[in-house]
Amino acid sequence: MVTTILSPCGILGYGFPEASLQKAMAQKPDAIIVDAGSTDAGPHKLGAGVAIVSRQAAGIDLKRLMTAAREAGIPLIIGSAGGSGARKHTLWTMDIIEDIAHEMNWQARVAVIYADIPIDAVRRARDEGRIEKMSPNVPDLTDEALAQTHGIVAQMGVEPILRALKEKPDIIVCGRAYDPAPFAAFGILRGHDPALCQHLGKILECGALCAEPGTTKDVMLGRLDDTGFEVWPADDSRRCTLTSVAAHTFYEKDHPTMLHGPGVRLDLSQCRFTQVSEGRIRVTGSRMLDTPYTIKLEGARLAAYRTFVLAGIRDPLLIACMDEVEREVVRSVDAYYGGLPAEVQINFYHYGKDAVMGSLEPTPVAGHEIGLMFEVIASTQEMANAVCASVRSTYLHYGYPGRKSTAGNLAFPFAPSDVPFGPVYAFSVYHLMHVDDPLAFFPMEIKEVGV
């Protein structure tokens, strides 16, 4: 028994070459599976309920994948719909699919799996000691933090996706899912070793990133058999090598040979990687270890509002004393408001000196020009705007000792100079929850869409 899976790209909406898709489809895959999720872009997508990619980009990719899947008569599975995989993101994806199905004159059967976790269930699990932090620096799950959190999602494992696959839908749209889970579920459904399925899923969820040259924007193929799996890129200009495939589990994971997921502890330390042909690598020896069943919870809360300014400094006299000038600017603005509220923050970032690494910067030395960004953080946008305007005008005209460039201290690239940013979010929930039933929090609906 062999099972071939096509992964078009690392995130649905990132795009992939049409020629690669056609080449891959000619190899008769049994399913097209694509991950759409990530927390890379920070807590804003989950908190504000917006997608990672544009509706246009998701639509372009979905139309091509729906067309290919329909022509071949194979299922299309989408993981972590809309990026964050909350109900809002899942419905956004469904809406796009529905439009395309109409356009294609296709009545498609779609299984939708939601991944929203009721706050009450999380609070109860916390009180029963079934919650643990993902790392020690994750904030405590207090009642206050839960009340402020804009909805919680959890990464589903393979079980809810297997349940959906058994309904034989044309398309499965998963809410938030463990990235490898949609791939692994399909392999498991077909009777393959779950450890191999999980490892293959981990590789395929990034598109062609495990090839050389690596990219998330090209098509990869994976084929499971009775004793291992093989991976290869669809496009001839890329190839998988022993080290590129072995090294792939390094990417954005905390450990190179031990992967954790819902009901998954995958040990890759005994894996063997062999080259079967040019650009094609065979993997054996992935092992699954026993582990309690946990699901990873993700939630974001609104932390504050921000207004920021970008400006250049080219005056060496000011560059030499800008830290002192900024202390005086803050002191002056604080006095003007008769003492700013404690939650107001005024932060300066000096690009060209230490803006990227802050206190971690090994060489905090300024060059002849500084890219200055300053931000005001406050509890309302109005307050952030007001204080930022005061900081900007005070900085612009501040007369520091020895100043010669007396017409203004800052070169603004834009008018207006002040940019109201809107809300800033923070991950308030990033915890594991122990569950007895892997299906319990992931309800499924079957929908007929299109004509």
Site of interaction with another protein (CB under 8 A):
39-44, 134-138, 242-243, 246-247, 249-257, 268-269, 271, 273, 303-304, 306, 345, 347, 349, 355-360, 362, 377, 424-427, 430
The least distance separating another protein from the CB of residue 48, rounded to whole angstroms, comes to 11
- Taking the C-alpha atoms of residue 449 and residue 451, their distance in angstroms, rounded to an integer, is 7
Residue nearer to another protein on the CB measure, 57 or 424: 424
The least distance separating another protein from the CB of residue 292, rounded to whole angstroms, comes to 19
Residue nearer to another protein on the CB measure, 44 or 447: 44
The least distance separating another protein from the CB of residue 403, rounded to whole angstroms, comes to 29
The least distance separating another protein from the CB of residue 103, rounded to whole angstroms, comes to 35
Residue nearer to another protein on the CB measure, 43 or 180: 43
Residue nearer to another protein on the CB measure, 237 or 243: 243
Residue nearer to another protein on the CB measure, 79 or 299: 299
The least distance separating another protein from the CB of residue 396, rounded to whole angstroms, comes to 24
The least distance separating another protein from the CB of residue 1, rounded to whole angstroms, comes to 27
Phi, psi of 369 (to 5 degrees): -140, 145
Closest CA to 83 of 171, 13, 161, 159: 13
The least distance separating another protein from the CB of residue 349, rounded to whole angstroms, comes to 7
Residue nearer to another protein on the CB measure, 349 or 400: 349
Residue nearer to another protein on the CB measure, 59 or 423: 423
